[in-house]
Amino acid sequence: MDESLQVVIRTHNPWLLEPRTQRASLERLLPDPWVPRSRTLDLRSGAQLLVGPRQAGKTSLIRHVLARQDAPALFLVAEEPRIRQLCASPAEALEELQGVLTPETILVFDEVQHLGDAPLFLKGLVDLEPIRRILVTGSSSFQFRAKTRESLAGRARRTRLLSFSLAELSATIDADLLPAMREQALSDLWRRLLLHGGYPAVWHGDDPVAELHHLVEAFVLKDASDLHTIVHPSALRTLLRLAAADLGNLVNMNAWAAQAGVSRGTASRYLEIVAEAHVVQLVAPFVGGKRAEVTGAQKVFFLDNGLRNTLFGGFGEIANRADRGALFENCVFCEICKSAELLDEILYWRSKNGAEVDFVIRRGDRLIAVEAKAGALAAPRLSRSARSFIDAYRPAVFAVVNSALRHDAKVDGVQVRFRRPWEISGLLAER
């Protein structure tokens, strides 16, 4: 191993000279206070892919897990030019790393999207050392996900980590609070998520708005422009602002492209890039065929309210905002995404006569429908749209997420749940 590689590896693995300090070194790198994450890592042999947006806490989660393991760990940060050079060949990389590897060493590849052909490299590693445990993080997965499915089929497990969820943040509330005080604390957390989102740096920092502006620049300039050769960065910014302004509405790609001054194909590609960077998510319609339904148009949501408000809307108090309903719906969507299982589909439903259900989660042959109501409901009332969907599709659960009411009922034999935002994860956990 040459001196330049040794310097890079020692910088990111300071415990190599004193292996007994690994646990303490990893603990020192964790944010304080630590917010427990709901996603877990699979430490079986083979590769575990942990994907998600920049600065969502992927590396921190790995450090937290490895600080509780006895096995040695080796972090290789793909943003380092010397690490990218090392990873040109799986066989040569393993040969060059022999001096710092044991059979038990857990290999961690951080920000792997910076490698030229990450899926092929990881496939080679797993094939050469099938019992090796490998953890991989990646923030922008554009042109990476499909290749991963092809070349790592049967060799890797995949988990997505987004910014803090309300369920995760609720662990920071004093466990000794009386029930009424706990409800108030949860409501306060929700209002903060509605405005500033859940990114760790935003949550723990002194200036959340400045942190959010930094994150937007990181996504636009570093993830998108640097990694994907964006020819028209101003057009990308315009498209992001249009998506933020049309939050929860149907995407009109032709109109967006015209306003951004690019072709429809370029606009679609740019939107795909920010979707693969886990900034926005396009939601397709649920089509069951039992009603005259919207079948093609997609809706756009952001995966963090703070990013959306940075791009459009600002940070004024919720009660005074014209977009409070859209913010509530988007934040419900975020919570669903953070609690959903890997193979869950998140869709919306709209009939051609105007009936609509905000979200339909398809889990195999099981449906969970969700309506988001920003107000504090005083009584358990279902909309005509909800009743129409229940009559047509008989979901396992129909949930109405609102600010105040908790109530259980049955409508035509279907379980109907009125729940507060901090109970969304429990809804999705029902079997």
> In which domain, by residue range, is 313 found?
168-429
293 by Cβ neighbours in 10 Å (0-12 / 13-18 / 19+) ranks as middle
Does 199 lie in the same domain as 99? no
Tell me the whole-structure pTM to 2 decimals. 0.93
Are 234 and 379 within one domain?
A: yes
**CA distance linking residue 220 with residue 263, whole number of Å:** 19
191 with 333, same domain?
A: yes
Looking at 161, 178, 207, the residue that finishes a domain is 161
Q: Are residues 145 and 175 in the same domain?
A: no
pLDDT at residue 351 tops 70: yes
How much is the mean pLDDT over the chain? 91
CATH at 76: 3.40.50.300
Residues 370 and 341: beta-carbon distance below 8 Å:
no
For residue 340, pLDDT over 50 is answered with: yes
Provide the pLDDT for residue 107: 97
Q: What is the average per-residue pLDDT within 267-282?
A: 91
Last residue of a domain, one of 161, 183, 199: 161
Look at residue 362 and tell me whether its pLDDT is greater than 80.
Answer: yes
Residues, the chain, total?
431
The tokens describing 46, both together, are 């083979």
Q: State how far the Cα of 70 lies from the Cα of 66, in Å rounded to an integer.
A: 8
Which tens digits make up the pLDDT trace of 366-387? 999 999 999 889 999 999 999 9
Separation of alpha carbons 293 and 243, rounded Å: 24
Q: What are phi and psi of 282, to 5 degrees?
A: -90, 135
Q: What percent of the chain has pLDDT over 70?
A: 94
pLDDT for 219 equals 76
Is 299 in the same domain as 325? Answer: yes
Token pair, residue 131, equals 């019992």
Please report the pLDDT score of residue 140 as a whole number. 62
- Quick one: 20 and 118 in the same domain? yes
Could you tell me which of 228, 318, 234 has the C-alpha nearest to residue 275? 228
C-alpha 260/C-alpha 256 separation (Å) is: 6
Question: For 288-305, how does the pLDDT look when each residue is reduced to its tens digit (9 = 90+)?
Answer: 888 788 788 999 999 999
Residue 336 has pLDDT above 80, yes or no: yes
If asked whether residues 123 and 223 sit together in one domain, one would say no
Could you read off the pLDDT of 395-412 as tens digits, one per residue?
Answer: 999 999 999 999 999 999
Domain count, the chain: 2
d(CA 110, CA 165) in angstroms, rounded, equals 23
Average pLDDT over every residue of 60-71: 96
pLDDT: which is higher, 230 or 361: 361
Q: In the predicted model, what is the mean pLDDT of residues 72-96? A: 95
Average pLDDT for 271-287: 92
pLDDT of residue 144: 52
Asked whether residue 296 falls in the same domain as residue 318, the answer is: yes
**Cα–Cα dist 2/187, whole Å:** 55
Written in H, E and C, the secondary structure of the chain is CCHHHHHHHHHHCHHHHCHHHHHHHHHHCCCCCCCCCCCCCCCCCEEEEEECCCCCCHHHHHHHHHCCCCCCEEEEECCCHHHHHHCCCHHHHHHHCHHHCCCCCEEEEECHHHCCCHHHHHHHHHHHCCCCEEEEEECCCCCCHHHHHHHCCCCEEEEECCCCCHHHHHHHCCCCCCHHHHHHHHHHHHHHHHHHCCCHHHHHCCCHHHHHHHHHHHHHHHHHHHHHCCCCHHHHHHHHHHHHHCCCCECCHHHHHHHHCCCHHHHHHHHHHHHHCCCEEEECECCCCCCCECCCCCEEEECCHHHHHHHCCCCCCHHHCCCHHHHHHHHHHHHHHHHCCCCCEEEEEEECCCCEEEEEEEECCEEEEEEECCCCCCCCCCCHHHHHHHHHHCCCEEEEECCCCCEEEEECCEEEEEECHHHHHHHHHCC
The answer on 147 and 183 residing in a single domain is: no
Which residues 6+ apart lie within 8 Å of 253 measured at CB?
264, 267, 268, 271
Predicted confidence band of residue 224 (pLDDT cuts 50, 70, 90): low
Per-residue model confidence (pLDDT) at position 146:
47
Q: What is the per-residue pLDDT for 117?
A: 83
Q: Is residue 104 located within the same domain as residue 243?
A: no
Q: Which domain-ending residue is among 130, 161, 192?
A: 161
Instruction: For residues 285 and 141, state if they share a domain.
Output: no
Instruction: For residues 40 and 48, give the distance between their C-alpha atoms in angstroms, rounded to a whole number.
Output: 11
User: What pLDDT, on a 0 to 100 scale, did the predictor assign at position 430?
Assistant: 76
Query: Is 228 a residue whose pLDDT tops 70?
Result: no
Question: 410 and 327, same structural domain?
Answer: yes
What pLDDT, on the 0 to 100 scale, is given for residue 232?
A: 84
> Nearest CA to 83 among 2, 8, 144, 134?
8
pLDDT in tens, 133-191: 999 998 765 445 545 555 666 677 889 999 999 999 999 999 999 999 999 999 999 99
